[in-house]
Amino acid sequence: MNTKAAYALWHKYLVNLKRIDRYTIGTKIDETFLELLEFIFRSCFAYDKFEKVAMISSAIGKSDLVKFELQIAWETDVIENKIYGQLILHLEHIGRMLGGWKKSAGEKTHPTHTNK
């Protein structure tokens, strides 16, 4: 699952939250998810490799933050176990993908030197 699909799953659920939850923690999670998508988008088109690594790092931070916010929503019974589990699984996968992308981009910016 990609990040856009994970966001679509969240957004579909968001509209069904109670009004007070939708406009508090729901809005916060939604904003963080959108920021995550923005950092991923900006990473794709970053020309400078150092900027790319920085954008990917920011995306990883946003991914971790949205997981934390979802945990808070789950612990306060704002979201159901099923949707929480689905979103966390997707975000864990997204985090692994971002980590691999960062490692790959970092290797391109810091070539290893071998002594011959």
Residue 21: give the domain boundaries. Answer: 3-105
CA dihedral (80, 25, 14, 33) in degrees, to 10, reads -110
Residue 11 sits in a domain whose CATH number is: 1.20.1440.60
- On whether residue 84 sits in a domain, the answer given is yes
Better pLDDT: 61 or 108:
61
Q: Could you tell me if residue 39 is inside a domain?
A: yes
Within a domain: 116:
no
What's the domain count of the chain? 1
DSSP-derived letter for residue 48 is S
Would residue 23 count as lying in a domain? Answer: yes
Q: Are 33 and 70 in contact (CB under 8 A)?
A: no
In the block, residue with structure tokens 């689905």: 86
By the 8 A CB rule, do 33 and 66 touch?
yes
Residue 46 inside a domain? The answer is yes
Residue-wise pLDDT tens digits, 1-57: 599 999 999 999 999 999 999 999 999 999 999 999 999 999 999 988 999 999 999
Position 113 confidence tier, pLDDT thresholds 50, 70, 90:
very low
pLDDT(106) > 90: no
The tens digit of pLDDT for each residue in 70-92 reads: 999 999 999 999 999 999 999 99
72-92 per-residue burial string, b: 16 or more CB within 10 A, e: under 16: ebbeeebbeeebbebbbebbe
